[in-house]
């Protein structure tokens, strides 16, 4: 009944930055996206809560026919991807992680900043990533827990005073560390990249891992391309915000339906 599709989710609208890359890498695939906006921001919630939400949404996407899951959220990946993989061992589950490795390759000054949620930075998964990538490296990595930034972006007004002041606050800390490369370790942050670039200066390199996730999904997706690549957008919050963000950032799309999902 439901055609095989790729299920994508995030705490809210941030995962659209990953969905944009996925759709350009796989234009013939059907996608189902869930924004858990009623429960955002995940980065300021407990691990237990984020894991429970991730399980609930993944189950819903499986029921709707998703045969591959993309956790388009650094926080949910950090906290819950192992649980998702253990729950559905036969389903490919692709997560997203802050791009420490590309940042280490790109920095010229040897000073890198990582912008991410407090929960991502506090996770054991992130600590392991940092250990594995930084090992003997001489690079200085500054971790910036960007409280308030994802929540401000989540309103859909990307030029609001709240977005600008959160960017300014966190970028001031990064400027003081004189970093030349900044990892966008939360899928919401690419939507504030224009402000981050303005605050950090044009010579800064921003690292976003959405395209790397799309390449991994291309490797693992076994579904057929369809002539009518459907896109279904669902949210536990306000459908109007998701719709507005999708039409601004996803460009032209067909067969889209946006609906309110009740998942409590
Ligand atoms: N977009 C999410 C991430 O990549 C989470 C933001 C939030 O809900 O705190 O971490």
pLDDT digits (tens, 9 = 90+) for 65-111: 999 999 999 999 999 999 999 999 999 999 999 999 999 999 999 99
- CATH 3.40.50.1860 for the 5-95+211-260 domain, yes or no: yes
pLDDT of residue 254: 45
Looking from the CA of 8 toward its CB, the CA atoms found within 13 Å total 29
* Global pTM value: 0.95
Alpha carbon of 81 to ligand 1 centroid (Å): 14
Q: How far apart are CA 180 and CA 169, in angstroms?
A: 17
| For range 112-137, the mean pLDDT | 95
| pLDDT level of residue 259 (50, 70, 90 thresholds) | low
Mutate which of 14, 16, 241, 242 for ligand 1? The one with the most ligand atoms within 8 Å of its CB, which is 14
- Establish whether residue 113 lines the binding site of ligand 1, counting it when its CB lies within 6 angstroms of any ligand atom: no
pLDDT score, position 226? 67
Assess whether the region 5-95+211-260 and the region 100-208 belong to the same CATH fold: yes
Chain segment 222-251, per-residue pLDDT in tens: 877 665 668 899 999 989 999 999 989 997
Q: Indicate if ligand 1 lies below 6 Å from the C-beta of 235.
A: no
**DSSP 8-state code for residue 123:** S
Find out whether 202 and 61 touch, Cβ atoms under 8 Å.
no
**Does the beta carbon of 188 sit less than 6 angstroms from any atom of ligand 1?**
yes
Instruction: Parse the chain into domains and list their residue ranges.
Output: 5-95+211-260, 100-208
186 catalytic residue (yes or no): yes
* Per-residue confidence band for 255, with pLDDT thresholds at 50, 70 and 90: very low
Q: In sequence order, what are the residues at sequence separation of 6 or more whose Cβ sits closer than 8 angstroms to the Cβ of residue 77?
A: 71, 95, 96, 97, 125
Predicted local distance difference test score (pLDDT) of residue 115: 98
Atom of ligand 1 at shortest distance to CA of 43?
9
Q: Does residue 200 carry a pLDDT above 90? A: yes
Q: Is 228 annotated in the active site?
A: no
Has residue 6 got a pLDDT over 70?
yes
Q: Which CATH architecture has domain 100-208?
A: 3-Layer(aba) Sandwich (3.40)
CA of 139 to the centre of ligand 1 (A): 26
Which pLDDT score, from 0 to 100, does residue 223 have?
Answer: 78
Q: Is the CB of 98 under 6 A from ligand 1?
A: no
Sheet containing strand 256-260, strands side by side: 93-94, 66-71, 5-10, 31-35, 231-235, 256-260
């Amino acid at each position: 009944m439901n055609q095989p599709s790729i299920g994508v989710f995030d705490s809210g609208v941030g995962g659209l930055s990953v969905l944009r890359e996925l759709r350009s890498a796989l234009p013939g695939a059907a996608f189902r996206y869930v924004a858990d906006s009623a429960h955002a921001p995940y980065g300021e919630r407990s691990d237990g809560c984020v894991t429970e939400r991730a399980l609930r949404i993944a189950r819903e996407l499986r029921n709707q026919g998703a045969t591959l899951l993309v956790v388009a959220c650094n926080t949910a990946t950090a906290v819950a991807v192992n649980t998702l993989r253990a729950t559905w061992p036969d389903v490919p589950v692709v997560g997203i992680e802050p791009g420490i490795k590309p940042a280490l390759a790109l920095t010229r000054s040897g000073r890198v900043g990582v912008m991410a949620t407090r929960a991502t930075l506090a996770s054991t998964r992130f600590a392991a990533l940092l250990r594995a990538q930084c090992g003997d490296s001489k690079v200085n990595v500054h971790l910036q827990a960007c409280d308030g930034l994802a929540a401000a972006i989540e309103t859909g007004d990307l030029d609001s005073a709240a977005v600008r002041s959160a960017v300014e606050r966190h970028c001031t800390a990064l400027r003081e560390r004189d970093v030349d490369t900044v990892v966008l370790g939360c899928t919401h942050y690419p939507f504030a990249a224009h402000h981050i670039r303005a605050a950090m200066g044009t010579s800064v390199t921003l690292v976003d891992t959405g395209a790397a996730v799309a390449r991994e999904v291309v490797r693992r997706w076994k579904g057929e391309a369809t002539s009518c690549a459907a896109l279904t957008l669902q949210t536990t919050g306000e459908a109007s915000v998701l719709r507005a963000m999708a039409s601004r950032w996803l460009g032209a799309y067909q067969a889209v339906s946006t609906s309110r999902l009740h998942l409590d």
